[in-house]
């Protein structure tokens, strides 16, 4: 049987395509950068925050399908960028990106994406693509944009098939800082922008950067901490030399088991020294691995800003923001590790605490302000442990 994409001609006016590893070609109008990129196709259900999503390093090597149709309507600006390093390689949207309408916009989405090398594809039935991911799992694919509409589909199919996928892939080193950095940014205010962190005698948090979002550090500052950010592969000796009152484990992309090969020994040694620990997303998974649990690849992952999570102590439900394709296997939690939060969508693990230690983690993103303040207490809880 012929490859279903090898003979498919683009419809008139098509300047972009998403080619899945099974040979399916999904046509549309390209925008943003010209060229092609390979990655895993996922979907995000958030109605706002497309710029933050596209610059979140946790989305490295991923192509984001936005289920909300009106992407680009508020343009882009420098204040809403989560990280200067690699994020999503591209996005797929339903409606054509129109001229922005927002007093905060300084650049059109297409131009901003082009400046970062990110490829967009509009005019796609994102509802059908999302249903496909839900039924069949997240596929590997190539997203391509060519203004002349000429594409070598067989070559794109081959590239999608040859890409190994996220399972077993360590991406943290690709998106981590290369040197220590004293964090200086404070909370944002309308009309004033971002404040500056205080350099007073606050508790000192050393944050290990596995692919972090800047707003995490701003929230640690808001909660009362002084923050130093260090690369993913920083040694225990280097961390201890900074005299931390607590250690933060950041979010990040890729397979946690792969990153854990060098991260887990360091985290275990920190636990042995009873230094307070707090992990978010990949950092939560790193903490769980260090405690003896396992992580698993999810069928479709959790990505959006409306995920309900239940605190097992008291039954409070938080509306959370999530972005993860791997999860801690709740059934693998050993004795001495308490499951503190669970997803109300599928019952998957969303939080742990280690008995006898000042150490906890959550799978979701409290810094993304879902709710909008449902989860800020986690930063206050951590900083409160550092006295």
Nearest Cα to 325, choosing from 304, 353, 351, 352?
304
For residues 188 and 108, which has the higher predicted lDDT (pLDDT)? 108
Q: Check 42, 91, 281, 350 and give the catalytic one.
A: 281
If you ran DSSP here, which 8-state letter would residue 238 be given? Answer: H
Helices then strands, counting H and E runs in the chain, come out as 10, 19
User: Average pLDDT of 276-299?
Assistant: 98
| Reported confidence tier of residue 373, pLDDT bands at 50, 70, 90 | confident
For residues 369 and 68, which has the higher predicted lDDT (pLDDT)? 68
User: Is there a common fold for 16-162 and 172-384?
Assistant: no
pLDDT digits (tens, 9 = 90+) for 85-110: 999 999 999 999 999 999 999 999 99
Per the structure block, which two tokens stand in for 229?
């950010």
Q: CB–CB of 259/238 below 8 Å?
A: no
Cα dihedral across residues 60, 77, 248, 380: positive or negative:
negative
Q: CB–CB of 245/280 below 8 Å?
A: no
Nearest Cα to 331, choosing from 308, 347, 315, 307?
347
pLDDT digits (tens, 9 = 90+) for 325-361: 999 999 999 999 999 999 999 999 999 999 999 999 9
Res 8: pLDDT: 63
Read off φ and ψ for residue 110, nearest 5 degrees.
-60, -45
| Reported confidence tier of residue 7, pLDDT bands at 50, 70, 90 | very low
CA angle 69, 74, 76 (to 5 degrees): 115
Structural domain boundaries in the chain: 16-162, 172-384
Helix (H, G, I), strand (E, B) or coil at 131: helix
Is 281 known to be catalytic? Answer: yes
Res 187: pLDDT: 81
Q: Which long-range contacts (CB under 8 A, 24 or more apart) does 232-239 make?
A: 232/172, 232/173, 232/176, 232/208, 232/259, 232/262, 232/263, 233/173, 233/176, 233/262, 234/180, 234/208, 234/266, 235/266, 236/265, 236/266, 236/269, 236/270, 239/206, 239/208, 239/266, 239/270
Res 371: pLDDT: 77
Res 191: pLDDT: 82
Q: Is residue 139 scored above 50 in pLDDT?
A: yes
Q: Is residue 5 scored above 60 in pLDDT?
A: no
Helix (H, G, I), strand (E, B) or coil at 383: helix
- The predicted model scores a pTM of 0.95
pLDDT digits (tens, 9 = 90+) for 17-63: 999 999 999 999 999 999 999 999 999 999 999 999 999 999 999 99
Res 10: pLDDT: 83
Domain boundaries 16-162, corresponding CATH code: 3.50.30.20
Res 6: pLDDT: 38
Res 188: pLDDT: 82
Is 365 known to be catalytic? Answer: yes
CATH topology of domain 172-384: Rossmann fold (3.40.50)
CA distance 194 to 200: 18
Q: Which residues pair with 39 in a beta bridge?
A: 141
Q: What is the residue-averaged pLDDT of the chain?
A: 95
């Amino acid at each position: 049987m012929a490859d279903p994409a090898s003979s498919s001609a683009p419809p008139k006016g098509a300047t972009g395509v998403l080619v899945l590893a099974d040979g399916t070609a999904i046509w549309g109008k390209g925008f943003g950068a010209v060229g092609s990129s390979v990655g895993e196709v996922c979907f995000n259900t958030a109605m706002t925050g497309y710029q933050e999503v596209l610059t979140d390093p946790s989305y490295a090597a991923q192509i984001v399908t936005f289920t909300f149709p009106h992407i680009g309507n508020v343009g882009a600006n420098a204040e809403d960028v989560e990280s200067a390093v690699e994020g999503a390689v591209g996005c797929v949207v339903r409606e054509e990106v129109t001229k922005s309408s927002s007093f905060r916009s300084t650049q059109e989405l297409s131009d901003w994406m082009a400046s970062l090398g990110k490829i967009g594809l509009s005019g796609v039935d994102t509802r059908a693509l999302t249903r496909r991911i839900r039924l069949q799992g997240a596929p590997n694919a190539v997203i391509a944009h060519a203004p002349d509409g000429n594409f070598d589909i067989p070559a794109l199919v081959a590239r999608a098939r040859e890409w190994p996928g996220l399972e077993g892939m360590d991406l943290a080193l690709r998106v981590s800082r290369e040197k220590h950095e004293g964090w200086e940014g404070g909370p944002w205010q309308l009309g004033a922008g971002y404040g500056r962190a205080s350099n007073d005698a606050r508790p000192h948090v050393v944050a290990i950067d596995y692919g972090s979002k800047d707003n995490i550090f701003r929230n640690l500052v808001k909660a009362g901490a002084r923050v130093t950010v260090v690369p993913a592969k920083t040694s225990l000796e280097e961390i201890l030399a900074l005299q931390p009152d607590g250690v933060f484990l950041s979010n990040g992309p890729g397979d946690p088991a792969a990153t854990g090969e060098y991260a887990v020994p360091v985290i275990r040694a920190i636990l042995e020294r009873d230094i307070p620990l707090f992990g978010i997303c990949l950092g939560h998974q790193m903490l769980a691995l260090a405690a003896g649990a396992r992580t698993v690849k999810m069928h479709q992952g959790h990505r959006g800003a409306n995920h309900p999570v239940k605190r097992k102590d008291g039954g409070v439900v938080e509306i959370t923001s999530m972005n993860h394709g791997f999860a801690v296997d709740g059934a693998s939690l050993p004795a001495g590790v308490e499951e503190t939060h669970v997803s109300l969508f599928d019952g998957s693990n969303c939080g742990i605490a280690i008995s006898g230690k000042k150490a906890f983690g959550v799978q979701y993103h409290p810094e993304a302000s879902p709710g909008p303040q449902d989860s800020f207490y986690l930063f206050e809880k951590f900083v409160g442990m550092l006295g």
